[in-house]
Amino acid sequence: MPKNYTFPYLFDESKSLSITDLKKMRYFKKNKTIGGTINWKRGGENTGSIGVKVTMSENDTYIDLNYTCNKQDYNYRVFVVSVKSNLNKGEILYFKCKFTGMRCRKLYLINGRFQHRTAIKTGMYSTQTKSKKWREIERVFGSYFDKDKIYAELYSKHFRQSYNGKPTKKYLKLMQKIKKVNSVDPNDIERLLLSK
């Protein structure tokens, strides 16, 4: 009897909430409650949205989530805990997963609820599903395959190449990637693909 296919849950293809994104959107302000809507998009199309209300008080920091998934309404609270930075530069915020009790910087939509990734045992990142040979090719020639993305970022509307007459760190990083792209010989990729 043949073995059943098992398709893993891919974390990088699922909807997620991250502390970093919420900070960038300026949801965390001391002694304030800030609410709004976060939208997810794929290929320019809206694939979902969630109502978020972040409260930072003297005693607690928490996020109220309000959304609909698979025709079911969800409304619950996720607490945020802070840990002193090991560099003695302030505190680092973490979600305290309501369902697993784990601390994390990112929650994934698993079975209708935003949870820590350990909530699903079959969960993987897309790179983990690739063969060892493909991962080796990507490690060596990854920038070559991503050259369209690199050039799109370099020539995007609001990208800053310099600040105060000095090249930005992001610009220097992209230039390193472009240098790597230009040093790749397509024949090397072909040889690597054909090797055992």
Q: What is the 3-state secondary structure (H, E, C) of 132-154?
A: HHHHHHHHHHHHHHCHHHHHHHH
Q: What is the pLDDT of residue 196?
A: 57
pLDDT band at 6 (very low <50, low <70, confident <90, very high): low
pLDDT of residue 55 exceeding 90, the answer is yes
Q: What is the pLDDT of residue 2?
A: 58
What is the per-residue pLDDT across 73-100, written as a single tens digit (0 to 9) for each?
999 999 999 888 887 778 889 999 988 9
Closest listed residue to residue 57, CA positions, set 30, 35, 26, 76: 30
Listed range (2-11, 66-75, 121-130, 163-172) with the worst mean pLDDT = 2-11
pLDDT band at 176 (very low <50, low <70, confident <90, very high): confident
Q: What is the pLDDT of residue 103?
A: 93
Domain residues of the chain, as ranges?
Answer: 9-124, 130-194
pLDDT of residue 133 exceeding 80, the answer is no
pTM assigned to the model: 0.66
Q: What is the pLDDT of residue 191?
A: 72
Q: Measured between alpha carbons, how far is 90 from 112 in angstroms, rounded to an integer?
A: 34
Sign of the C-alpha dihedral, residues 88, 94, 96, 99?
negative
- Asked if 55 and 64 touch (Cβ cutoff 8 Å), the reply is yes
pLDDT band at 4 (very low <50, low <70, confident <90, very high): low
Average pLDDT, the chain: 83
